[in-house]
Chains A and B, each alone.
Chain A
Amino acid sequence: MIPLLLTLAAIFAELSLLAFGGGNTILPEMQRQVVEVHHWMSAQDFSAMFALAQAAPGPNMMVVTLVGWRVAGWWGVLVSSLAKFGPSSLLTVLALHGWQRFKDAPLRRTIQAGLVPMTVGLVAASASLIAAASDHAWILAAITALCALTTFRTRIHPLWMLAAGALVGLSGIGQ
């Protein structure tokens, strides 16, 4: 149990410090570690965990909690949450003091602008990996496409899209 918890801690502490541009950028690396490196679950299961986390309220990184729970129960929840939220929070506390001076520095703007293309590439990678693992039937691919298009084109609340997807899934058509 202890080695398992240490492994969880190491994975999520690293992800915590690499999550520039928010949580969605580190999904591919999380999936790689959880599915390909440690074989804790299938890619399809990982996508299901991500979907459950999206259906729950709160910050969008609750998939971390769910992975921790799935791998090592409540201890897994505690360790993965601490490891995921601890290091970046500590960095925030430390940065709070220097920010007043740094925020107007040209270097800050240069770095932040330079990170934008990375964020776009990583979120696109997240989307394609999660979609590939989720869409194992034509109807599921159709749900993904319709949800994507509707959310991109309109201001409809995302929760409605999830509910619609679940409902079409429940009907069993095409699965």
Chain B
Amino acid sequence: MNQPTSDPLAGHQAATAPAPVPTVRGLFLGFLGLGLIGFGGVLPLARRMIVEQRRWLSADEFTELLGLCQFLPGGNIINLSVAIGMRFRGVPGALAAVLGLITAPTIIVVMLGMFYQRFDNLYLRHMFAGLAAGAAGLLVATALKMAMPLRGRPLAILIATAFFFAIAILRFPLLPTMLVLVPLSIVATARWSA
């Protein structure tokens, strides 16, 4: 017979060995590894590291925390590192996690920038132009994938188009654009789906 417990996940976690609460150092190292291997989107790798490898969170806890991070402004993974660090080790944990995540990419990206600036010859300029065109293509694909769920929702398409027009064509500043369009979008979406 299962003993009744206050934590509904306790029984499930006992099936596998319960992972100990990560240390500040462990948080730093975990996210450091993530920052080093995460090319072109860290999210799937983050889930594997946090849920499957280090077992800091259960799959449900991960999904719930990610929900918060996607709701708030800022990069999802940056917010996730802060939330996980905070949850286990308070402010030192949050700092360790976010610093672990961005330290290595910061150094690497600045080295790439130095390289780009220092070696200015025709071959490299051509190569970087090709790289930039490829990166633009990836962004176009991201936009297309994100737009697919809006199919068959004329109001949502209209609002997305309004944002596109204001920002890309008219080049309006983002803050005033959001102050006007976001309330409209929220009210319209709520009405439409009701």
Contact = CB atoms under 8 A, between A and B. Distances in A.
Contacts of A159: 39-40
Contact of A165 (B133, B145, B168): B133
B137 interface: yes
Nearest to A124: B143
Given A114-B190, A148-B140, A57 B108 contact: yes
Contacts of B137: 131, 143-148, 150-151, 161, 165
Contacts of B19: none
Interface stretch (B2-10, B51-59, B68-76): B68-76
Contact of B127 (A32, A93, A128, A170): A170
B109 interface: yes
B118 interface: no
Size bin of chain B's contact surface: 35 or more
Interface in A120-175: 120-131, 134-137, 140-141, 143-152, 157-159, 161-172, 175
B161 A121 contact: yes
B159 A121 contact: yes
A158 B133 contact: no
A148 B144 contact: yes
Size bin of chain A's contact surface: 35 or more
A70 B114 CA distance: 9
B82 A158 contact: no
Contacts of A6: none
B21 interface: no
Contacts of B119: none
Most chain A beta-carbon contacts within 10 A, residue among B72, B171, B175: B72
B136 A127 contact: yes
Interface in B125-144: 126-144
Interface string B63-86: 010011111111111110011001
Interface of B: 35-42, 64, 67-79, 82-83, 86-87, 91, 94, 98, 101-102, 104-106, 108-110, 112-113, 116-117, 122-123, 126-147, 149-150, 156-157, 159-164, 167-168, 171, 173-175, 178, 181-182, 185-190, 193
Given A89-B78, A91-B72, A146-B137, 20 more contacts: A19-B73, A48-B131, A55-B135, A57-B37, A60-B40, A81-B106, A89-B79, A113-B186, A115-B182, A116-B149, A118-B163, A128-B164, A130-B132, A134-B129, A134-B132, A134-B136, A151-B137, A152-B144, A158-B40, A162-B40
19 contacts: A19-B73, A58-B38, A81-B106, A85-B75, A88-B73, A93-B91, A112-B71, A115-B186, A117-B163, A118-B182, A123-B139, A128-B168, A129-B168, A147-B134, A151-B138, A158-B39, A162-B134, A162-B135, A165-B134
